[in-house]
Each structure stands twice: as structure tokens, then as C-alpha cells.
Amino acid sequence: MTDNRPTPDGVLRLINGYWATGVVGAAAGHSLFTHLEAGADTAAELAERAGIAERGAQTLLDGLVSVGLVQVHEGRYRNSPEASAYLVDGKPTSLSNFAKLKLKHMAGLAALPDVVRAGGPVRDAVVEVADNPHWEEIVTAIAAQSVPAATLAAEVLGLADAGAISILDVGGGSGVYSGIWLEANPAARSTQIDWERINTIARRLLAERGVADRFTTVSGDFHTTDFGTARYDVALYSHIAHQEGPEDNIAVFSRLRTALKPGGALVVCDYLVDDDRSGPAFPLMFAAEMLLKSKQGGTWRRSDYQEWLGKAGFTEVSFHSAPPATLVIAR
């Protein structure tokens, strides 16, 4: 006889979901994925290389096997393909700094019951506070997330062969898109609007990539900074729409339509949810982050973007998957 009664296993794993944040953040903090990649494959070796207790190393390895980031075979451990691609220090796609940062953010979730009652942040507002130091920590930690999306957008738009184009990046953060696009196209130029402290970080990172001479920054609030008229071939709005409400997104899209040359393209990158709000999983959950940190943000539906871009004067809209994000390209 088969027993189809549900077990508590899945619910218990969710209730204790913070264990995963802790184990992944601590493993990143001690560069475990990097040591595994370099060939250390037992708890004893990892403990020695990382300077941690062997009991601690074994516990982290057990947790990492549990979440599928590390594989074990006859007592030897190795990174899963995902861990190898996204958690090894020094790789352009490495999210290990982000894993460390999220471990620090975990305590903030204790406010969620109050936040849902209030419908927005009850303390530690982030998004609406001008020039908030929060961004300094976050922009470099999230830069790697944008590598696949920036690469895909460059392919879709044929940026490498587009000649002497000019690009506007609104809220460009680390400047990761400009870095990738300016490297791909040696005739392109890019302008980033962000807060001065963030622009300083971006200028340093773009100098390290050797493209700073084609990178300009404008410091200030993008809600009020003039974008100009018919000045740019490509405009970018990456991971900004989720911090804004519908009215502000429409207003920015309209100003970007004006700032683009005729035929120019707006690239939006964000966590889009399906129109019936049934998925995908990551964007659905990300709405909680925006409830905690912004007064009006959220994860918006494909139909929202379509409607807002139409109101802003764009006539062609296409969607391109860059999981867990989606690129929206509008002309």
C-alpha cells in the first residue's frame, strides 16, 4: 500500500531556509568554493587551507551537499557546476561577495511581519533615501549578476558591430554593463547617472578594465537629472524598475524615449513575473525584498512593462530570458 500523505520534510526545510543563507554565506566567507576548485577535496584539507576548524569545514560541506552546491563521492568533495561558475572568487561571474552580504542582511527579515502589516518599510528605508550608503555595499556585490544579461543584450542588439554608438545607463551602479559593452565595441561611449559615491566606484572599475576614457558619469537623482533629447542609441535601466512604482517607471520611460535617437533601443533588465503571478519562483519571492526596502517597488508583470512602455511612446517590445532576470528591449 502506498502512503500519499505529505511529510513535514519540505515545510521544515522552508522554515529553516535561513540555514542555506548561513551555510552558503559562511562557505563564501571562508573561500571554500575557491579552495575546492583549486583541488582541496576533504574536510581536513579545506580546514587547513581556509584556516577553520575541521569540524566547521565538515559541517559546511554537509550543508553544501544538502543544498546541491557541492557533490561528494567516496569521501571526496567537489563543486557542482553551478558553484564552480558562480561562487569561486575572482571569476567575473562570482556571486561570493553577494552571498557574504546576504548573510549580513538576514536579521532584517525579522521585521517582515510588521512590514506586511504596514505595507512598506517600518525602519531602515533604503530606496527613497538619497545617496544611501546601502548602495556602496551592494553595487559591487551584485555586479556579477548582470554579466549574463549584459552579454545577452549585447548579442541581441549587435552592439559589438554597431560602431560609434552612445549609451545612457540610468542607475548604472558598478558600471558593469558599460564595462562589458565598451569592451565589446571599442568605438562606443557610455554615460552613467548615479549618486556620486557610486559613480566613483564605477569610474575605478572601468579604469581597471581599461575603458574609462569612453565612460562619463553624471551625479544626481535620476528622477530629476536631465537625460537630454535624441542623444543616445541605447538606454539602459537595469534592476531599477523594481524599486519604483508604476507612475515613476512610466515617467522615466517617457524621458528615455525622448533621450533616445529615433530607432534607438531601451534595455530594461529586471525580475519579471508572469501575468497571472504564478511564476517564476525567484521574481515572485523578490517582491518581499522590495516590500522591506522600498515604498512603492515590487516585481512587475510582463503586461505592466508592455503597458508602461506603450504609454511612454515605444511601439516594439520584446522579452529575452536571462534567468532569474528578463531583458525587455523596446524601440
Ligand X SMILES: C[S@@+](CC[C@H](N)C(=O)[O-])C[C@H]1O[C@@H](n2cnc3c(N)ncnc32)[C@H](O)[C@@H]1O
Q: Hey, which residues between 3 and 62 contact ligand X (CB under 6 A)?
A: none
Binding part of the chain for ligand X, among 12-20, 182-190, 232-240, 313-321 by CB under 6 A, reads 232-240
Of 61, 62, 66, 82, nearest to 9 by C-alpha is 66
The residue number with the shortest CB distance to ligand X is: 173
Query: Cα 273 from chain centroid?
Result: 16
In the complex, the smallest distance separating the C-beta of residue 60 from ligand X, rounded to whole angstroms, is 29
- The residue among 282, 275, 270 whose CA lies nearest residue 303 is 275
**Is the C-alpha dihedral spanning 16, 17, 20, 26 positive or negative?**
negative
Which three three-digit cell numbers place residue 303? 503586461
- Which of 37, 41, 194, 304 is the binder for ligand X (CB under 6 A)? 194
Q: 324 preceded by cis ω (within 30°)?
A: yes
Interface residue with ligand X, options 171, 264, 297, 298 (CB under 6 A): 171
- Give the one residue of 46, 99, 198, 268 binding ligand X; rule: CB under 6 A: 198
Nearer to ligand X, 79 or 238 (CB): 238
Nearer to ligand X, 103 or 139 (CB): 139
Shorter beta-carbon distance to ligand X: residue 310 or 324:
324
| Interface of this chain with ligand X, residues 110 to 139, rule: CB under 6 A | 135, 139
Q: How many residues form the binding site for ligand X (CB under 6 A)?
A: 19
Please state the closest distance from residue 40 (CB atom) to ligand X, in A.
Answer: 32
Piece of the chain touching ligand X by CB under 6 A; list 94-102, 103-111, 169-177, 273-281: 169-177
Peptide bond into 246 cis (omega under 30): no
Dist CA 71 CA 80 (whole Å): 6
Residue 105 class from Cβ within 10 Å (0-12 exposed, 13-18 middle, 19+ buried)?
middle
Contact yes or no for 201/133 (Cβ under 8 A): no
| Shortest distance in whole angstroms from residue 46 CB to ligand X | 31
The span from the CA of 94 to the CA of 23, in Å, is: 17
Contact mark string toward ligand X, 237..276, x via CB under 6 A: -xxx------------------------------------
Q: Are 326 and 271 in contact (CB under 8 A)?
A: yes
For position 173 contacting ligand X by CB under 6 A, the verdict is yes
**DSSP code per residue over 279-298:** --HHHHHHHHHHHHH-SS--
Q: How far is the CB of 153 from ligand X (least distance, A)?
A: 11
CB of 10 to ligand X, least distance (A): 31
* Nearest distance from C-beta of residue 171 to ligand X, angstroms: 3
Residue 289: CB minimum distance to ligand X, A: 10
Beta strand residue intervals within the chain, DSSP E: 70-73, 76-79, 166-170, 189-194, 215-219, 232-238, 260-270, 317-322, 325-330
Longest CA–CA separation in the chain, Å: 72
Stretch that binds ligand X, among 70-78, 217-225, 246-254, 295-303 (CB under 6 A): 217-225
Query: Which 135-164 positions form the footprint of ligand X (CB under 6 A)?
Result: 135, 139, 142-143, 146
Q: Is the dihedral of CA 112, 118, 121, 124 positive or negative?
A: negative
Residue 27 C-beta: closest distance to ligand X, Å: 24
Q: In the complex, what is the shortest distance from the CB of residue 65 to ligand X, in angstroms, rounded to a whole number?
A: 31
Q: Give me the residues that bind ligand X (CB under 6 A), please.
A: 135, 139, 142-143, 146, 171-174, 176, 194-195, 198, 221-223, 238-240
